[in-house]
Amino acid sequence: MNPVPPRQQQALVARLMQACGGAHSPQARRKYFISGPQWAAAYQGQALFHAPTREPVGFEEVIRRYAEIGIGYWTTHDTDVIPTSALGTDQQGEIVARIRQALDENGLRCSMVTTETFYHAVWAASPAAESASVRDYAAFRVRNTVEIGHELGAQYAVYWPGSLGYYVQGAIDETETLQWYAAALNAACERDIEVAAKKGRPTLKHCLEAKPFEPQAEILLPTSDAMLAFISSGLLTHPEMVGLNPEYLHELMWGSAPRAALARALVCGKLWHFDINDGYRLKHDVDIAVGLVNPLDWLNVLVLLRSHGYNGPFNLDYKPPRTTSNYGVFAVSFPSAVDRFITLWEMAGEVLADPIIHEATEALKAGGGPVDTRDAEAVAASNRELLTLHELIAHRLVQILLGLHRGRSYSV
Ligand code: 3MF
Ligand code: MG
Ligand code: MG
């Protein structure tokens, strides 16, 4: 192939994307409760060892592009859109008004707001630091975010306490830090109750998001299970207002099965919001787009969520790779992520309707019939042949994932 000069490269990407086919229309995409974060589209590719590879993108452009793609909901940190120094000032009011206008003009809704409590120097010792001034500031920030959320018509507030921890051992008392963190959440919930009553709106759903590693060395609430324990610890004044925003990769990172983590949240009635992405076990938070690494696991996650009637948002919390250009973010990265999600969602429906999986599952539950249930050998013998169905179900799931159940085969 001849070299492709820079001015022809976008056209090549567009043509090959078109050739991939299988794209859903913006109208079809909008039927899903899929939200696009401001920070995901605006991510410039920077990291500790990485200079940015993309130009900055403001909220007007992100909202407009999401609308074109068919992503119906938008989410943001307070400081993604409002400079730290402008928080709580008239300038904030002006920016929020501009956001409302951009959302209205493009037919998007803001579903979630979140407070950035990890980037600025003020959070060096976490939002629940020893100093009361830091904690008062944290309370101001989360209350202010609740107000922004109500202004923008959001239903959810998310909290990622990524800096709630320490670098060196013994410097903090963990129990105190957790109490102080709870105090900030309590302040947010109490302000929410006041603002919601004043505006005649329901209160927000406050969702905690865990991550096991980074940016702090040791993290006090590293998993969704730790969050569940924290919610029922007695430290929160409104535990009924607080649930979870698990992130797929955050659960995978520590070696968990994300689907099992989601199941534990479901049985507690706390699975309210879900950050969708992909990546690898025991590595850092690479935030690859949904289904690019673990499509089979993703199919199974969606089977679980569909079968339990999860109806919260699917928040596209991933980072377009540094190798993707500004053009590619909206031409390839977001539309392809949304379409893979929709395909996996539809496949999950096929799994739930599949007569083979259905019969195999029912047979496993029916078991082998009457037996002396104090006799281990007899119980094992009575079920032995049925248990082969576990592997048969796994085979069937892969058939559905690869389209083999529709007659596709790979013999040459
Ligand atoms: C970090 C994250 C965060 C959270 C966000 C909460 C930057 O790993 O996943 O995204 O999702 O702060 O909304
Ligand atoms: Mg996240
Ligand atoms: Mg992540």
pTM of the model: 0.97
Given 24, 77, 250, 273, the catalytic residue: 77
DSSP alpha helix (H) spans, 200-238:
224-231
The residue behind tokens 């130009």 is 55
The pLDDT score that the predictor gives to residue 164 is: 98
What residue type is 261 in one-letter code? A
Span from the CA of 251 to the centroid of ligand 3 (angstroms) = 9
Whether 80 sits among the annotated catalytic residues: the reply is yes
Instruction: Please give the C-alpha separations between residue 253 and each of 40, 126, 224, 249, 280, in angstroms, as whole numbers.
Output: 19, 22, 12, 6, 7
The pLDDT score that the predictor gives to residue 406 is: 86
The alpha carbon torsion through 124, 127, 130, 136 (nearest 10 deg) reads 120
d(CA 81, CA 71): 19
Instruction: Please give the C-alpha separations between residue 337 and each of 88, 284, 295, 316, in angstroms, as whole numbers.
Output: 35, 21, 12, 8
Low-confidence ranges of the chain (pLDDT < 50): none
Sorted by where each begins, the domain ranges of the chain are: 24-350, 355-406
Instruction: Please give the C-alpha separations between residue 196 and each of 143, 154, 159, in angstroms, as whole numbers.
Output: 12, 11, 19
Q: CATH number for the 24-350 domain, one of 3.30.70.1520, 3.20.20.150, 2.60.120.10, 3.40.50.80? A: 3.20.20.150
Span from the CA of 250 to the centroid of ligand 3 (angstroms) = 6
The pLDDT score that the predictor gives to residue 355 is: 98
Residue 75 in 3-state DSSP? strand
The pLDDT score that the predictor gives to residue 15 is: 98
Residue 206 in 3-state DSSP? strand
The pLDDT score that the predictor gives to residue 411 is: 67
Work out the number of other CB atoms within 10 angstroms of the CB of residue 405: 17
Of all protein residues, the one whose alpha carbon is nearest to atom 4 of ligand 1 is 160
Of all protein residues, the one whose alpha carbon is nearest to atom 6 of ligand 1 is 160
The pLDDT score that the predictor gives to residue 412 is: 64
Report residue 215 as tokens.
Answer: 């940016």
